[in-house]
Amino acid sequence: MEEKEQEDDEKERDAERDAKRDKIVKTVEKAVDDVGAAALGVPPVLLHNLPLIALVVGTGVGLIVLRWVVMISCPEIAGHAKTYAFVINFLFGAVKSFFDLITIKNLVNVAGFFLDAEGSVVELASETAVVVTPYAIGIAHWTNLFSRTTWDMFSTRDVQEFFSRLPGECAAFDDIEHVFLFPVRAAASPTVCPLIRFTWPVPWMYSASTTTLGWMSFDADPMGNNCVPQDEDAYAWVCVGLGMGYVVIDIVLPMLLFMLFGYRFIFPLLRMGVGLVRLAAYESEEKLRAGGEAIEDVVQVTKAVATDALEDVQQSMGSYI
């Protein structure tokens, strides 16, 4: 009777273990199906967003090519600094004059014509054009439009020196690490660097803080840079601006691809990973249980054999007595 109850209990436990394993396997299979469905959904999304992806890639590559063109053009510009100084001064002067034209007063005047104009749409358009057009092209103030403009902002020597130094100054800013981390360090170093420097007397603390926070800080070594800001170098900021193509390709593009495709795979892959870990843990548990039962059986057999042998010895000794 007891053996039958033990057998029934063992069958019930086996059924529970099988049901647990089947549940884990179904979870993994469902996650695999979800990953497959997400993969099948990639081509339509890719085709739908291909113009956006092409725009981002084109912008990044274009900026990188522009940086390359500027770098190889620096000797030419420096060699003809007088001509380029005139062109640069003209462009800066024209842009400054344009922004001088777009003043709050002028904008208020334009808005007033929209608010005060009466009559038909044609009359409104006519009155608006009469006032807006001169302000837009500068005819109304042509005599004094450029009166405050500085046309000699950059001298020939300034242009020659700047473009002579630019290739060497920007040589290191040819990857995402330098282009991205320099602005980050400029913004975060005033706060982070003193914290790292505070741990300098304790080597292991200084090593840990440098490893975890050093990417946001300039050199914190009191015997070296000692947290002196290095973000006042105008060349560095120009190099960061010229290196924006690396930011687009290495940061903006991956973020865009993740938003379009990556999120579809996150949860299915997580469920599949968790399911595989649970399945491996279950299989390991079953092997340990089977090993324990095998050891227990060996112990029971050994015990029975020892008991029988002991009884035989006792019987043999009794027969002599």
Could you read off the pLDDT of 158-176 as tens digits, one per residue?
Answer: 888 888 988 888 888 888 8
Give the model's pLDDT for residue 71.
Answer: 92
Higher pLDDT, 265 or 257: 257
| Cα separation, 264 vs 268, whole angstroms | 8
* Amino acid identity for residue 63 in this structure: L
Give the model's pLDDT for residue 193.
Answer: 87
- What integer best gives the mean pLDDT of the chain? 76
User: 130 vs 107, 113, 115, 139, 209, CA distance in Å?
Assistant: 14, 10, 15, 11, 65
Q: Is the pLDDT of residue 110 over 70?
A: no
Extract the runs of DSSP E, i.e. beta strands, from the chain.
Answer: none
* Cβ proximity of 156 and 81 under 8 Å: yes
Higher pLDDT, 263 or 83: 83
All residues at 6 or more sequence positions from 283 whose CB lies less than 8 Å from its CB, including other chains: none
Q: Record the tokens describing residue 239, joined without a space.
A: 């190099």
User: 248 vs 71, 83, 243, 258, CA distance in Å?
Assistant: 19, 33, 9, 14
Q: Is the pLDDT of residue 8 over 80?
A: no
Average pLDDT over every residue of 84-98? 78
Q: How many CB atoms lie under 10 A from the CB of residue 51? A: 9
pTM for this entry: 0.60
Give the model's pLDDT for residue 142.
Answer: 42
Q: How many CB atoms lie under 10 A from the CB of residue 242? A: 21
| Cα separation, 7 vs 1, whole angstroms | 10
Q: Is the pLDDT of residue 118 over 80?
A: no
Higher pLDDT, 34 or 184: 184
Could you read off the pLDDT of 124-156 as tens digits, one per residue?
Answer: 566 556 555 555 554 444 444 444 545 567 788
Percent of residues, the chain, with pLDDT higher than 70 = 68
The length of the chain is 321
| Cα separation, 164 vs 68, whole angstroms | 15
* Cβ proximity of 180 and 247 under 8 Å: yes
Give the model's pLDDT for residue 229.
Answer: 74
| Cα separation, 214 vs 220, whole angstroms | 8
Q: Is the pLDDT of residue 238 over 90?
A: no
Give the model's pLDDT for residue 313.
Answer: 59
Q: With the CA atoms of 167, 172, 177 and 181 taken in that order, what torsion angle do they form, in degrees rounded to the nearest 10?
A: -80
* Amino acid identity for residue 15 in this structure: A
Q: Return the minimum-mean-pLDDT range out of 120-124, 183-187, 199-203.
A: 120-124
Give the model's pLDDT for residue 58.
Answer: 94
Q: Return the minimum-mean-pLDDT range out of 149-153, 166-170, 230-234, 292-296.
A: 149-153
Could you read off the pLDDT of 271-283 as tens digits, one per residue?
Answer: 778 878 887 887 7
Q: Return the minimum-mean-pLDDT range out of 29-38, 49-58, 107-116.
A: 107-116
Q: Is the pLDDT of residue 64 over 90?
A: yes
